[in-house]
C-alpha cells in the first residue's frame, strides 16, 4: 500500500499520521509531483495492493491507474464524479443532518432554516428529515445573493461548501444579511466562524486519516474498493463565535460551549 499526498500541507500530513496510526504495517507516502507519469512503476516496485490518494492532485494522478488497483481517496471536499470502478473514500463535506442534530439538541427555537444549494451539493440534503428547511437552487453568486432576499423569515442560514456560488462578494452579502436581520449563519469552516458565522462543524484531519486507514483494511479484506461504501467524516470539530451569538441574542448552553474545539473571538 502507498499514499500519494502533499505532506507539506498540514491537514494532509495530519491525515497521513492518522492512517499510519491505524495500519499495522508501514506505508510510504509520495508527493503528487514525485509520482507524476511514474505511479504505475512505483506501485510495481512497492508491490502495492492499494493506493490512497489524498487531495485532488493526488487523485488525478491515481485515477488513470488500471481498475484492478483499488483507490481510496481522501482530503477532497466532495466525492469525485468519475465512472471508475474499484474506488471508495472519505469526503470532507458535512452532511446537513449533522447540523440538524446539533440544532435539535441545543437550539430547539431554531425551526426555519434557509439553505442554498446547487447540483454539486444537492446530495447533502439526502436523508435529511427536517420539515422546515427552505432550500433554493442556485448556479452562481448572483443567484445566491438573490436567494438571500427570500430568507427574511428564517431562524438561521445554513451554508453548504459550494464553489458555484460562494465567493468573497457573495459572502460579504451573506454576512450583511445575517447581521441586519439577526439570522445566524451556520457553517462552513473555522475561517467562516472567525469571520462572523455562529458555528460550524468541521472535519478533523487526523481522524479522517484513521477513518481512511480503517477503510484501507476493509478494502484489503474484501479484495475490492467497490465493496466498501463511500462515507463522510465520522467526527466533527465544533467552532463557535460568541460575539455573533451575543449580537443575535442567542443563549448558548454550557454543554454546547464545552464541546467546542475553539471559541472565537
Q: What's the pLDDT score for residue 127? A: 60
Note whether 140 and 118 are within 8 A (CB). Answer: no
The cell for 35 is: 509520482
The percentage of residues in the chain with a pLDDT greater than 70, rounded to a whole number, is 98
pLDDT tens for 28-79 read 999 999 999 999 999 999 999 999 999 999 999 999 999 999 999 999 999 9
pTM: predicted TM-score of the whole model, two decimal places: 0.91
| Position 131 confidence tier, pLDDT thresholds 50, 70, 90 | confident
- CATH architecture of the region 2-92+204-235: 3-Layer(aba) Sandwich (3.40)
For the domain made up of 96-202+237-264, give the CATH fold.
Answer: Rossmann fold (3.40.50)
Q: What's the pLDDT score for residue 119? A: 76
pLDDT tens for 161-196 read 888 899 999 999 999 999 999 999 999 999 999 999
Q: Decide if pLDDT at 259 tops 80.
A: yes
3-state secondary structure of 138: coil
Angstrom CA distances, 40 to 48, 184, 207, 219, stand at 10, 49, 29, 19
**Where does CATH 3.40.50.2300 sit in the chain?**
2-92+204-235, 96-202+237-264
DSSP conformational letter for 9: S
Amino acid at each position: 500500500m502507498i499514499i500519494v499526498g502533499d505532506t507539506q500541507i498540514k491537514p494532509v500530513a495530519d491525515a497521513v499520521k492518522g492512517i499510519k496510526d491505524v495500519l499495522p504495517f508501514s506505508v510510504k507516502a509520495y508527493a503528487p509531483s514525485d509520482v507524476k507519469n511514474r505511479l504505475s512503476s512505483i506501485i510495481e516496485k512497492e508491490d502495492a495492493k492499494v493506493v490512497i490518494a489524498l487531495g485532488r492532485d493526488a487523485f488525478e494522478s491515481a485515477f488513470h491507474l488500471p481498475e484492478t488497483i483499488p483507490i481510496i481517496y481522501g482530503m477532497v471536499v466532495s466525492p469525485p464524479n468519475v465512472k471508475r470502478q474499484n474506488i471508495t473514500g472519505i469526503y470532507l463535506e458535512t452532511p446537513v443532518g449533522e447540523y440538524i442534530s446539533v440544532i435539535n439538541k441545543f437550539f430547539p427555537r431554531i425551526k426555519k432554516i434557509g439553505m442554498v444549494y446547487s447540483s454539486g451539493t444537492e446530495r447533502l440534503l439526502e436523508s435529511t428529515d427536517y420539515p422546515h428547511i427552505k432550500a433554493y437552487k442556485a448556479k452562481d453568486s448572483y443567484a445566491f445573493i438573490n436567494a438571500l432576499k427570500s430568507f427574511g423569515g428564517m431562524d438561521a442560514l445554513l451554508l453548504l461548501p459550494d464553489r458555484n456560488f460562494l465567493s468573497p462578494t457573495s459572502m460579504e452579502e451573506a454576512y450583511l444579511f445575517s447581521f441586519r436581520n439577526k439570522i445566524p449563519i451556520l457553517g462552513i469552516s473555522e475561517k467562516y466562524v472567525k469571520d462572523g458565522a455562529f458555528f460550524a462543524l468541521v472535519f478533523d484531519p487526523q481522524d479522517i486519516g484513521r477513518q481512511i486507514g480503517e477503510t484501507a483494511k476493509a478494502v484489503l479484506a474484501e479484495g475490492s474498493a467497490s465493496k466498501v461504501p463511500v462515507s463522510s467524516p465520522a467526527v466533527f470539530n465544533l467552532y463557535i463565535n460568541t460575539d455573533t451569538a451575543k449580537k443575535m441574542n442567542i443563549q448558548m448552553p454550557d454543554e454546547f460551549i464545552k464541546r467546542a474545539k475553539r471559541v472565537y473571538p
